[in-house]
Structure 1
């Protein structure tokens, strides 16, 4: 809560008197308050309560599609965090078209977010899908994401969130791919692209999309998490080429797939046998991979501690009888890598 107050100064006593009124007395109940000079953009406002900073991004149609992206919702904390946010912030039922409201409030999930309703209204609206409810759920979702972004960036709720700050947050959370093209152009201060209905061939010029520029510039931006800093980009990007030149050869020469980044990530995991810190990335052996003087592809690796790595190479058959087959272990490692965005 903010207030714009006119002080009465008793200079000889060194005392400043403020008259906030009953509505604003709660500001002083928390102990210390922040005092600052009146900004120029508030000179026209009357004394009293000042509304929280308006969020233009809340009404921006381009940004709304970004806010409703599943990756953005997950980065902000997930829908369960939205529910908790609504319980903390809401004190009344959000459905105004009812003559009766129960004093018990509940959360009703409605695409794309959630709505805070009283018990009576929740029973009435549980199976309904209307544009009004969708709009209400969408506004709750956007307000919660903006609040979460401001909190994660270290700002208070009274700050107006800018496009550049929103894109920076997305980059730090590892979801820069979710930023729409038009939003990326705004963040990079690129001119709005004019699209004509008809072009001459001489007028067609190749251009680079703003999203690709943004992704390239944020490749080394660290991901901000509650526990530790992790790289924003997947450790290795697996490209798929269904028409690779080698596929047209009668006897193509095999190329071994290598990735030092992926091996480094595998070594950072726990041992597949004992869950202790891994020392090595073991390459698959005994299953038709590799050859004389070479190894299996770097994708077919298992994190193992030095003890179990030695045990596997000494007797692969006995090892698989005790701990399971190597392909099964590799499948589990790949599943985790894709689920965490290490492989993309």
Structure 2
């Protein structure tokens, strides 16, 4: 499949393309003397540059979640957007004006209200008078960007399903922001019937009583901290010190954005060093950790004091990480 920008000549009844020599030879091979299909660009490929596309099949729009407006609330949440990547960068890769009406478009492009890719001509028009189409495209962009980012992070070569989106949200610690109706669909929970109507159900039908979000939280595997107000070691004269370890908690910390750069890729769980912790030959408790990008982690170990003088005390970031874990239900 090849993506090309058309140049319309309405007065002459012509539509022209400029594929270049390399792509023209590809088109000759594809056509073999036959006709070629010209069709609108699938929304999932809106920011793919012109040229040959590696995907061997055209996306099946019937399986796409891009029409599910319930996901707008989820993708617009600030915590979710931190894990999806830069929406602005995604928009800037769109190589054409999204408000083009087949008439005049300026060759220079910009981003309108951080939501729509437009040329300078249509940007001026929209600033004078907003159109309903602009709002619709803005919402569509958020949905396409969010779904494409999740698909890319899951390394899928097809549309993602609701269960896969749910899995992504669990891995990234943002499952609590999923709309209730989405989680209900994933777990097959039925909507409670109107008690004022004539619908009659058996009391044994538990599908109407399930709390899908509670199920998701339970299955996401929150790390449990069991409190013992009178531990046996408390009554020993020389109790052996125990280091609290939890790979599941470290995995949660690594799913958070770096406390310095905000990056979500290449994040490691940095254990607190100094401040009475991280003694020679031993690591501190896994609870005393914070997310750091690998590059930032290396800079810290090269000069711990210099790092803290520039970015602040580790204690603050460790506290913020624990606070986030409690707020998201990773610790309970």
TM-score when scaled to structure 2?
Answer: 0.53
Match of 2:318 in 1: 333
CA spacing shift, 1:337–1:150, aligned 2, 3 Å: same
Match of 1:106 in 2: 110
Q: Distance in 2 between matches of 1:30 and 1:167?
A: 32
Assess if the C-alpha contact under 8 Å between 2:289 and 2:321 holds in 1.
no
Are 1:83 and 2:68 an aligned pair?
Answer: no
Match of 2:215 in 1: 213
Three-state SS of the structure 2 residue aligned to 1:57 is coil
Assess if the C-alpha contact under 8 Å between 1:181 and 1:209 holds in 2.
no
Unpaired segments ≥5 residues, structure 1: 4-16, 35-49, 220-232, 239-254, 283-298, 304-322
Match of 1:147 in 2: 148
Q: Distance in 2 between matches of 1:18 and 1:24?
A: 11
Match of 1:69 in 2: 77
How far does residue 134 in structure 1 lie from its aligned partner after superposition?
2.1
Q: Distance in 1 between matches of 2:175 and 2:159?
A: 21
Match of 1:52 in 2: 59
For residues 50-101 of structure 1, what are the alpha-carbon distances to aligned partners after superposition, in whole Å with 9 as ceiling and x for unaligned?
7422154222243333333333322211xxx22222232x222112469532
Three-state SS of the structure 2 residue aligned to 1:211 is helix
Q: Distance in 1 between matches of 2:90 and 2:314?
A: 40
For residues 161-188 of structure 1, what are the alpha-carbon distances to aligned partners after superposition, in whole Å with 9 as ceiling and x for unaligned?
2211111121122111112222112112
Q: Distance in 1 between matches of 2:96 and 2:170?
A: 36
Q: Distance in 1 between matches of 2:91 and 2:322?
A: 34
Q: Distance in 1 between matches of 2:212 and 2:197?
A: 23
How far does residue 276 in structure 1 lie from its aligned partner after superposition?
7.9
Q: In angstroms, what is the RMSD of aligned CA positions?
A: 5.0
Assess if the C-alpha contact under 8 Å between 1:106 and 1:117 holds in 2.
yes
Equivalent runs, 1:137-286 vs 2, <5 Å:
137-156=138-157, 159-197=158-196, 207-219=209-221, 233=222, 260=244, 269-272=271-274, 279=282
How far does residue 196 in structure 1 lie from its aligned partner after superposition?
2.4
Are 1:93 and 2:85 an aligned pair?
Answer: no
Assess if the C-alpha contact under 8 Å between 2:272 and 2:284 holds in 1.
no
Q: Which has the higher contact order (CA 8 A, sep 6+)?
A: 2
CA spacing shift, 1:268–1:127, aligned 2, 3 Å: same
Q: Distance in 2 between matches of 1:211 and 1:101?
A: 47
Q: Distance in 1 between matches of 2:289 and 2:83?
A: 29
| Aligned residue-pair number | 236
Segment drifting more, 174-183 vs 273-282:
273-282
Q: Distance in 1 between matches of 2:54 and 2:162?
A: 32
CA spacing shift, 1:277–1:165, aligned 2, 3 Å: farther
Assess if the C-alpha contact under 8 Å between 2:2 and 2:53 holds in 1.
no
